Amino acid sequence: MRRMLALLIPAFVVILVAASPASAVRPDREPLHAEDFTVTGSCDFDVFVHFIANNEYVTTYFDRNGNVVRQEITGSLSHTLTNVDTGKTIYYNISGPGTLNVFPDGSSDFILGGRSSIFFSPGDVSGLPLFFVNSGQVILHFDPDGNLTGVDQFGHIEDVCAALA
């Protein structure tokens, strides 16, 4: 499993699945489950993430050797975000979709389309809020070790920390 940022995205967790010989030909489609959790360090307060609807699937595509080359996340996902200090809550439909492209050198791009919710830790990014909902597209670039190397953002950003303050 690749170490990636703790991201709340349309697919809360993207797991690179080990390929079996039979899956080298056919894509593998599985439900993608998301569990409630608390985000710490992105805002001046903790944010509780509660999933309201989760009907997402991840379809994993393999090359001839059984290596993962792409994962597509589709379906519906919505959550509420709550400032644990004040109780202020906001609802978001964050159904994406999302696509993870894995390159031969092991680096990857995670492309989030539609509406998605993303959070970072301090120092991970500059010029963007640490926790935001994006309407448009965000591309997260990772090196072969799963470290974030860049973020391209297009569309409208809603700063979650400011909205929940």
Q: Which amino acid is at 96?
A: G
Q: Which single residue is written with the structure tokens 């909902």? A: 133
Is residue 68, in this structure, part of any structural domain at all?
Answer: yes
Confidence at 15, pLDDT banded by 50, 70, 90: very low
Is residue 1, in this structure, part of any structural domain at all?
Answer: no
pLDDT, residue 25, reads 63
CA of residue 156 relative to chain centroid, distance: 17
Domain that holds residue 65: 21-164
Q: What is the rounded radius of gyration, in angstroms, for the C-alpha atoms of the chain?
A: 16
pLDDT, residue 7, reads 43
Confidence at 5, pLDDT banded by 50, 70, 90: very low
Is residue 10, in this structure, part of any structural domain at all?
Answer: no
Confidence at 19, pLDDT banded by 50, 70, 90: very low
Instruction: Report the 10 Å Cβ neighbour count for 58.
Output: 22
More confident call, 9 vs 92: 92
Is residue 34, in this structure, part of any structural domain at all?
Answer: yes
Does residue 136 have a pLDDT over 90? yes
Does residue 37 have a pLDDT over 50? yes
Per-residue buried b or exposed e for 77-90, using 16+ beta carbons within 10 Å of the residue's own CB: bbbebbbeeeeeee
Is residue 43, in this structure, part of any structural domain at all?
Answer: yes
Is residue 71, in this structure, part of any structural domain at all?
Answer: yes
Is residue 74, in this structure, part of any structural domain at all?
Answer: yes
Is residue 54, in this structure, part of any structural domain at all?
Answer: yes
Residue 126, helix vs strand vs coil: coil
Report which of 115, 120, 107 is spatially closest to residue 134, judged by C-alpha positions: 115
Q: How many domains does the chain have?
A: 1
Cβ–Cβ under 8 Å, residues 100 and 71: yes
